[in-house]
Amino acid sequence: MNKNKNIIALELIITYCDRISGIRNSFNSNFDVFKSSHLYIDSIGMNILQIGELTTQFTDDFKLKYTEIPWKAIKQMRNIFVHHYVTLDINKLWNSIIKDIPILYEFCRKTLILLKNQE
């Protein structure tokens, strides 16, 4: 049961990472275009919000086993979108999109394969 909970969360995070990638591709990963469009910022923000929410679905054992991912930082980014949107640091968001989301995507993809093979 706990494995299923982790698998479902991984699958959904992969979906949201894919969406972020698609949005990023629509503005050709151009920071100037990104920062000038609330449509891009809001779209990506909604997906990051969902990813942050999904981190609460992982079991404690899962988070203790996979410490290479900063689960608390992901949740904090979600909280910024929910509670402090007007103070959002676009540069930090950009770094997350360019650096962190691809790492999270690869982690989730590899871990999902591993967990499914253990079933």
User: Is 83 noted as a catalytic residue in this protein?
Assistant: yes
Q: Which of 38, 78, 84, 109 is catalytic?
A: 78
Indicate if 24 belongs to the active site.
no
Exposure string (b/e) for 21-30, b if CB count within 10 Å is 16 or more?
A: bebbeebeee
Q: Which of 24, 38, 83, 84 is catalytic?
A: 83
Cα–Cα distance, 114 to 12 (Å, whole number): 16
Residues annotated catalytic, as ranges: 78, 83
